[in-house]
């Protein structure tokens, strides 16, 4: 009130105003600075709210934080407690609230819009509420790659088995679809999908060829016409197996190569034999041996060579045979008159 107005007021009224002003309570203490830079992390089933503390100076006692949430259908805010959400984020000293902390509760309902706010508190003092943008888990979540991927080579194909990025409680509302990004070594990338089953077979691939692939999961929410792609898996390369025709071709090629190899080896052997015939005959010819008598004579020159030969000759060689010659011709004058002459022959 301006000084001139005070002077114009009647004295009784002025005294009443002075008494009321002296009895008024003192000004409330200054508020604490509110938390800053609120961020929500949504990855698969993770739901984490984080913030930075406001600039505090010369404060007494540790600052605690209170986190509250509200659904669009609710008019009032509720504390994040074990009974409401499954985790306790009431009067905490940490600068984050993990709604997916170890518990059986899935956190906030994934298909509801959720609003969050947090404030700092000290005994007798609080800060203003700092609000985070509302979120809807299925609409704002970052979907990771499939957790496990097994690839088995087939006959001109690849058999892929995988597990989803996370477990969905109500499959009637939300499901996963999978896309396979694949390419032949040094080839152009191709995409196949969507696949609803977690067991996938890539057919019509080149046998005995190496293919590289990545798998990507999409979250499909039919009621909201939502198709949210996830992160692709790491690249893995695999070689396809041979089909029946390829195996037959390999058998024929191996048999033909074996036959040609043996024929070539036989031809080479024949050529070498004809080319080096004299040398081979010389190598395999048995050298002439020395007769036993001459070998003994060389050992004992004092023995006469002819005697040695006579000693070794068989006894029947010295036998004489009697041969009779009979002639039927008329006797000529001056010839013997005997009917036959016996002529010894050797």
Q: Count of CB atoms within 10 A of residue 4's CB?
A: 7
With cut-offs at 50, 70 and 90, classify the pLDDT of residue 111: confident
pLDDT at 293: 67
pLDDT at 339: 44
pLDDT at 247: 56
Q: How far is CA 85 from CA 140, 144, 170, 229, 300, in A?
A: 19, 24, 18, 28, 125
- Whether 3 has a pLDDT exceeding 60, the answer reads no
Cβ-Cβ contacts under 8 Å for 120 (sequence gap 6 or more): 32, 33, 34, 35, 53, 54, 63, 64, 65, 126, 127
Out of 9-23, 156-170, 187-201, pick the least confident. 9-23
Higher pLDDT, 29 or 61: 61
pLDDT at 32: 87
Say how far apart CA 284 and CA 341 lie, in whole Å: 59
pLDDT at 323: 52
What value does the mean pLDDT of the chain take? 77
pLDDT at 324: 54
Say how far apart CA 67 and CA 118 lie, in whole Å: 4
Mean pLDDT of 32-40: 92
**36-139 belongs to CATH 3.40.640.10:** no
Superfamily of structural domain 147-244: Immunoglobulins (2.60.40.10)
Tens digits of per-residue pLDDT, 256-301? 777 788 888 888 888 777 777 777 666 766 666 666 666 666 666 6
The residue ranges of every structural domain in the chain are 36-139, 147-244
Q: Which residue, 318, 309, 307, is CA-closest to 291?
A: 309
pLDDT at 258: 79
Tens digits of per-residue pLDDT, 303-329? 555 555 555 555 554 555 555 555 554
Task: Residue count of the chain, please give it.
Answer: 346
Mean pLDDT of 338-344: 46
């Amino acid at each position: 009130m301006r000084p001139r107005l005070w002077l114009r007021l009647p004295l009784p009224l002025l005294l009443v105003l002075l008494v009321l002003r002296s009895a008024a309570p003192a000004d409330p203490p200054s508020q604490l600075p509110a938390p800053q830079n609120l961020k929500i992390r949504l990855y698969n089933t993770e739901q984490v709210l984080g913030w930075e503390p406001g600039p505090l100076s010369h404060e007494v006692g540790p600052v605690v934080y209170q986190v509250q949430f509200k659904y669009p259908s609710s008019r009032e805010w509720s504390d994040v407690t074990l009974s409401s959400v499954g985790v306790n984020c009431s009067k905490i000293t940490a600068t984050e609230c993990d709604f997916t902390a170890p518990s059986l509760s899935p956190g906030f309902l994934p298909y509801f819009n959720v609003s969050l706010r947090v404030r700092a508190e000290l005994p007798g003092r609080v800060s203003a509420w700092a609000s985070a943008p509302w979120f809807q888990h299925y609409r704002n979540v970052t979907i990771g790659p499939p957790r496990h991927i097994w690839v088995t080579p087939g006959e001109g194909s690849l058999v892929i088995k995988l597990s989803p990025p996370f477990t969905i409680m109500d499959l009637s509302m939300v499901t996963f679809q999978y896309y396979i990004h694949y390419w032949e070594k040094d080839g152009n990338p191709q995409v196949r999908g969507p696949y609803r089953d977690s067991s996938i077979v890539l057919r019509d691939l080149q046998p005995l060829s190496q293919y590289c692939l990545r798998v990507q999961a999409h979250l499909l929410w039919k009621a909201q016409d939502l198709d949210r792609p996830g992160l692709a898996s790491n690249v893995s390369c695999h070689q396809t197996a041979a089909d029946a025709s390829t195996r037959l071709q390999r058998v024929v090629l191996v048999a033909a190569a074996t036959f040609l190899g043996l024929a070539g080896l036989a031809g080479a052997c024949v050529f070498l034999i004809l080319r080096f015939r004299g040398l081979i005959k010389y190598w395999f010819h048995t050298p002439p041996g020395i007769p036993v008598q001459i070998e003994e004579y060389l050992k004992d020159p004092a023995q006469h060579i002819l005697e040695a030969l006579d000693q070794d000759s068989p006894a029947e060689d010295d036998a004489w045979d009697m041969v009779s010659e009979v002639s039927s011709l008329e006797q000529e004058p001056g010839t013997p008159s005997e009917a036959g002459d016996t002529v010894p022959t050797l």
